[in-house]
Amino acid sequence: MSHVASVILITSGIEHDYRHGGWLIDKLNAYLEEHHERKFAQVDQYSGGDKGFQARVYLVAINYLDIPKFLEVFHSIRWGLPDFVTLMIYDDHDDGFAVYRPNT
């Protein structure tokens, strides 16, 4: 039996860690790869219209995601534009998506 969490992450297009190199999404992906052998897929490039999408949008579905631990990692990141970051998680037994914002 499975217990799937569907996760959506929206960030600005500039969430790059200049001091340590790499995108801030890499920190979440490192956790996911270590514990679930999965990582986010970037999907904003598939938006319709004739203009570039004004955010980066990432999706992942994880079986048996430890949501409290994942949120701990999410909140540990020093987002460059935290007001632009939104994390949404739909766990199998929820009525809808729970919405999280970075701790500022």
SS3 content of the chain, % helix, strand, coil (to 5): 25, 30, 45
- Give kind and range of the element (H or E) at residue 3: none
Give the model confidence (pLDDT) of 76-104 as tens digits: 998 888 999 999 999 988 999 999 999 86
Residues 6 or more apart whose Cβ sits within 8 Å of residue 55: 10, 11, 12, 13, 44, 84
Give the model confidence (pLDDT) of 21-80 as tens digits: 567 888 899 999 999 999 999 998 898 888 888 888 999 999 999 999 999 999 999 888
Looking at residue 87, its pLDDT comes to 98
Q: Mention the CATH class of domain 4-100.
A: alpha beta
User: Are 10 and 55 spatial neighbours (Cβ–Cβ below 8 Å)?
Assistant: yes
| C-alpha triplet 43, 72, 10: angle, nearest 5° | 20
Looking at residue 6, its pLDDT comes to 97
Q: Which of 50, 42, 33 is nearest to 15 (CA)?
A: 42
